[in-house]
DNA sequence: GCTGTCTGCCCC
DNA sequence: ATTCTGC
DNA sequence: GCAGAATGGGCAGACAGC
């Protein structure tokens, strides 16, 4: 911001909420040539007009990541609930007002997860009050509810013990994009993402598939499913990275290069009726009655209804071999309603199981300054593997999770004593894209786990093994522990990383596609 | 036109 | 996405 | 157990600068 812009004769009029909102909307709409400059001018105008603490909150709003004053969606809902409860204080008073308050909050939370639209909630609230809200504002066709989630489990035995004596199913956990598909009464289709974004226009092929394979008696319905990349030639699932290369705007069926297969696993609504309260057993039956299956186009998630530890273990291995991430475990009848936004299902991914995850020993060669509660520490470390042939360290990933405060503090201290002004000549990285704030001498070795390996446009590990000028990287890297018994030259080698990458497609022999094949 | 960089009520 | 922390 | 806040890789699009 140039000083000159602030030398004004008259201070602009004070900001109002309405004016700030209007300006934000204008910023959002600005696009095209010089749009960045225009946006900057809007911000400048706001800041010039701001007084007292206003600049602080303007900046926090503009920097997204919330206000950082503890005000979240939940607080808004609580406020709404309290307001409603106060307004109706005299209408219902069976019990303490405090308990009314907390009941009202629960009602609001529940309703919001099923109808996450204030334009629907508030009128219903004003009209019928909090205590009728669950009836006056409920799941409706065309409005996405929050998807039901799953919490991680660490072992098959944990599952078997937790659900001892009750019926449950294990489904393949497909590596794709979560989608909620609404089939409207008029025959039109709407698709929503996990975060409730409308992505209808992104999947014309999915829309055609749903229209074609929906059985005649189905007038309207809502599907919960995973959209997965699919190689129709090889009849194999494609990695998420391939699916993500599809266009996102102005997509036409004829131009689609990566096919998608729908793996359906739940039915939330059918012919005018919400199924959220029904047991999964019922919903699943209705789902299977509602659609035809066509391999590679629309399938039901592969599932096994078993409580046998060994059977489940074998099934998990099968899932991983079929290029899935693992299993999702769901009760069938007890506590088996669809609960939007709640993590009542359980996921069992190979990266949670010590015996199955990919583990690497890597060398921190640089770091980035931390933010928020990590201000004054490093928040992230740049990690490298070793290439003993070239005698160089090659960047492979950043890591910033898995550190307790104590461990983080300790390693920040150790490493800052190893700081060097410039990278060693035997450090290979892509300058700019991954240049850290500070460089270190190679000294420590850290064990890092990953949910899989990827081909990376910015990391260098094993880049001379690939023929596409790309390297390998890690998916969901997490620090496990320092390896005090290892020296940097004993770190995982680029060759080993390449082997890990190709091994993960063992059950899928035609993967990865040709642009990623080994240099020969 | 091409390339580099940054953003996304992004996806995971 | 994962993980850690405070409540 | 839950919510919030740290942090990861990587894609298409969009914009800026040449």
Closest to A220 measured CA to CA, from A267, A252, A256 = A267
pLDDT single digits (tens) A21-46: 888 888 888 889 899 888 888 888 98
pLDDT the model gives residue A8: 56
The H-or-E segment that residue A61 falls in is: helix A54-62
> CA A403 to CA A267: how far, in whole Å?
40
Residue A197 CB closer than 7 angstroms to strand B?
Answer: yes
Whether the Cβ atoms of residue A393 and residue A399 lie closer than 8 Å to each other? no
Q: What is the mean pLDDT of residues A214-226?
A: 98
Higher pLDDT, A337 or A98: A337
Whether the Cβ atoms of residue A461 and residue A473 lie closer than 8 Å to each other? yes
Instruction: Using the predicted structure, report yes or no on whether residue A76 has a pLDDT greater than 50.
Output: yes
The domain A360-504 is classified under which CATH number: 3.40.50.720, 2.40.50.140, 2.40.50.100, 3.20.20.70? Answer: 2.40.50.140
pLDDT the model gives residue A342: 97
Q: What is the mean pLDDT of residues A386-411?
A: 98
- What residue is closest to C4 (Cα–C1')? A404
Could you give the C-alpha distances from A220 to A19, A63, A139, A270, in angstroms and in order? 42, 41, 14, 6
> CA A172 to CA A155: how far, in whole Å?
16
Residue keyed to tokens 């939370």? A109
Q: Is A217 left (phi over 0), alpha (psi -120 to 50) or beta?
A: alpha
- What six digits make up the tokens of A167? 């019926």
Ranking A47-56, A152-161, A405-414 by mean pLDDT, the lowest is A47-56
Residue A48 CB closer than 7 angstroms to strand B?
Answer: no
Q: What is the largest CA-CA distance in chain A?
A: 81
pLDDT single digits (tens) A463-503: 999 988 899 999 999 999 999 999 999 999 999 999 999 99
Q: Name the pLDDT band for A2 (thresholds 50, 70, 90).
A: very low
Ranking A4-8, A45-49, A119-123 by mean pLDDT, the lowest is A4-8
- What six digits make up the tokens of A395? 């960047």
Residue keyed to tokens 């209808």? A200
Q: Which nucleotide is nearest to A454 (CA to C1')?
A: D9
Domain layout of chain A by residue ranges: 34-69, 73-136, 150-352, 360-504
> CA A299 to CA A175: how far, in whole Å?
14
Q: Is the dihedral of CA A441, A432, A249, A229 positive or negative?
A: negative
DSSP A315: H
Q: Which nucleotide is nearest to A477 (CA to C1')?
A: D8
pLDDT the model gives residue A65: 61
Q: Name the pLDDT band for A87 (thresholds 50, 70, 90).
A: confident
Residue keyed to tokens 């294990």? A170
Q: Which residues of A are catalytic?
A: 173
Residue A482 CB closer than 7 angstroms to strand C?
Answer: no
Residue A64 CB closer than 7 angstroms to strand B?
Answer: yes
Whether the Cβ atoms of residue A394 and residue A460 lie closer than 8 Å to each other? yes
Residue keyed to tokens 């399938």? A299
pLDDT the model gives residue A1: 41
CA of A50 to C1' of D15 (A): 29
Higher pLDDT, A140 or A86: A140
Beta-carbon count within 10 A of A478 CB: 17
Residue A40 CB closer than 7 angstroms to strand D?
Answer: no
Give DSSP secondary structure letters for A188-247. -EEEEETT--B-GGG-HHHHHHHHHHB-TT-SSEEEEEEEEEEETTTTEEPPHHHHTTS-
> CA A57 to CA A51: how far, in whole Å?
11
Residue A178 CB closer than 7 angstroms to strand C?
Answer: yes
- What six digits make up the tokens of A290? 């509602």
Instruction: Using the predicted structure, report yes or no on whether residue A402 has a pLDDT greater than 90.
Output: yes
List the beta strands (DSSP E) in A8-48: none
| Strand, helix or coil for residue A340 | coil
> CA A168 to CA A334: how far, in whole Å?
9
Instruction: Using the predicted structure, report yes or no on whether residue A514 has a pLDDT greater than 60.
Output: no
Higher pLDDT, A173 or A36: A173
List of A residues 108-147 with CB within 7 A of strand D: 109
- What six digits make up the tokens of A287? 């789902």
Q: Which nucleotide is nearest to A398 (CA to C1')?
A: D8
pLDDT the model gives residue A209: 98
pLDDT the model gives residue A310: 97
Q: Name the pLDDT band for A63 (thresholds 50, 70, 90).
A: confident
> Terminal CA-to-CA distance of chain A, rounded, Å?
54
> CA A170 to CA A320: how far, in whole Å?
13
Q: What is the mean pLDDT of residues A58-75?
A: 71
Higher pLDDT, A420 or A58: A420
Residue keyed to tokens 């194999």? A236
pLDDT single digits (tens) A273-314: 999 999 999 999 999 999 999 999 999 999 999 999 999 999
Q: Is A416 left (phi over 0), alpha (psi -120 to 50) or beta?
A: alpha
**β-strand A471-474 against A392-399: which pairing, if any?**
unpaired
pLDDT the model gives residue A515: 55
> CA A258 to CA A242: how far, in whole Å?
7
Higher pLDDT, A10 or A29: A29
Whether the Cβ atoms of residue A183 and residue A189 lie closer than 8 Å to each other? yes
pLDDT the model gives residue A516: 57
pLDDT single digits (tens) A341-381: 999 999 999 988 888 888 999 999 999 999 999 999 999 99
Helices A73-87 and A97-114 meet at what angle, rounded to 10? 130
pLDDT the model gives residue A505: 84
Fold (topology level) of A150-352: D-amino Acid Aminotransferase; Chain A, domain 1 (3.30.470)
Same CATH fold, A360-504 and A150-352?
A: no
Instruction: Using the predicted structure, report yes or no on whether residue A4 has a pLDDT greater than 90.
Output: no
Mean pLDDT of all residues in chain A? 92
pTM, two decimals, is 0.94
Query: Please, what is the Cα angle at A369 between A366 and A374, to 5 degrees?
Result: 125
Phi, then psi, of A326 in degrees rounded to 5: 155, -140
pLDDT the model gives residue A149: 98
Whether the Cβ atoms of residue A209 and residue A262 lie closer than 8 Å to each other? yes
Q: Name the pLDDT band for A457 (thresholds 50, 70, 90).
A: very high
> CA A203 to CA A251: how far, in whole Å?
7
């Amino acid at each position: 911001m140039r000083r000159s812009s602030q030398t004004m004769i008259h201070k602009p009029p004070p900001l109002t909420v309405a004016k700030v909102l209007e300006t934000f909307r204008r910023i959002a709409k600005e696009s095209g040539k010089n749009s960045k400059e225009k946006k900057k001018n809007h911000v400048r105008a706001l800041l010039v007009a701001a007084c007292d603490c206003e600049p602080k909150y303007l900046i926090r709003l503009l920097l997204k990541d919330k206000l950082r004053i503890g005000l979240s969606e939940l607080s808004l809902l609580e406020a709404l609930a309290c307001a409603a409860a106060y307004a109706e204080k005299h209408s219902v008073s069976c019990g303490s007002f405090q308990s009314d308050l907390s009941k009202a909050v629960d009602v609001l939370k529940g309703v919001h997860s099923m109808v996450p639209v204030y334009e629907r909630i508030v009128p219903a609230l004003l009209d019928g009050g909090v205590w009728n809200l669950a009836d006056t504002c409920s799941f409706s066709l065309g409005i996405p509810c929050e998807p039901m989630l799953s919490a991680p489990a660490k072992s098959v035995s944990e599952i078997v013990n937790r659900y001892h004596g009750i019926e449950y199913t294990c489904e393949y956990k497909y590596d794709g994009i979560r989608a909620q598909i609404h089939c409207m009464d008029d025959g039109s289709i709407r698709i929503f993402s996990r975060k409730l974004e409308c992505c209808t226009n992104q999947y014309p092929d999915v829309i055609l598939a749903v229209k074609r394979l929906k059985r005649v008696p189905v007038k309207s319905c809502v599907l919960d499913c995973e959209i997965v990349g699919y190689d129709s030639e090889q009849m194999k699932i494609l990695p998420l990275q391939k699916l993500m290369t599809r266009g996102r705007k102005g997509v036409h069926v004829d131009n689609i290069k990566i096919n998608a297969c729908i793996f359906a696993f739940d039915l939330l609504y059918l012919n005018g009726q919400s199924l959220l309260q029904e047991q999964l057993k019922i919903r699943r039956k209705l789902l299977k009655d509602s659609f035809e299956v066509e391999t590679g186009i629309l399938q039901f998630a592969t599932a096994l209804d078993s409580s046998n530890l060994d059977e489940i273990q074998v099934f998990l291995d099968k899932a991983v071999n079929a290029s899935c991430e693992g299993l999702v475990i769901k009760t069938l009848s007890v506590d088996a309603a669809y609960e939007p936004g709640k993590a009542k299902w359980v996921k069992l991914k190979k990266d949670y199981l010590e015996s199955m995850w990919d583990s690497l020993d890597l060398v921190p060669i640089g770091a980035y300054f931390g933010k928020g509660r990590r201000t004054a520490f490093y928040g992230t470390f740049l990690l490298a593997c070793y290439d003993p042939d070239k005698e160089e360290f090659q960047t492979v990933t950043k890591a910033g999770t898995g550190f307790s405060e104590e461990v983080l503090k300790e390693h920040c201290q150790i490493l800052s004593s190893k700081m060097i002004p410039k990278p060693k000549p035997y450090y290979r990285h892509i300058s700019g894209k991954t240049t850290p704030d500070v460089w270190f001498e190679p000294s420590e070795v850290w064990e890092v786990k990953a949910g899989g390996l990827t081909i990376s446009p910015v990391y260098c590990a094993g880049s001379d093994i690939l023929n596409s000028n790309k390297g390998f990287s890690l998916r969901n890297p997490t620090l496990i522990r320092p390896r005090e018994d290892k020296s940097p030259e004993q770190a995982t080698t680029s060759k080993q990383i390449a082997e890990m990458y190709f091994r993960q497609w063992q059950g899928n022999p035609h993967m990865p596609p040709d642009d990623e094949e080994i240099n020969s």
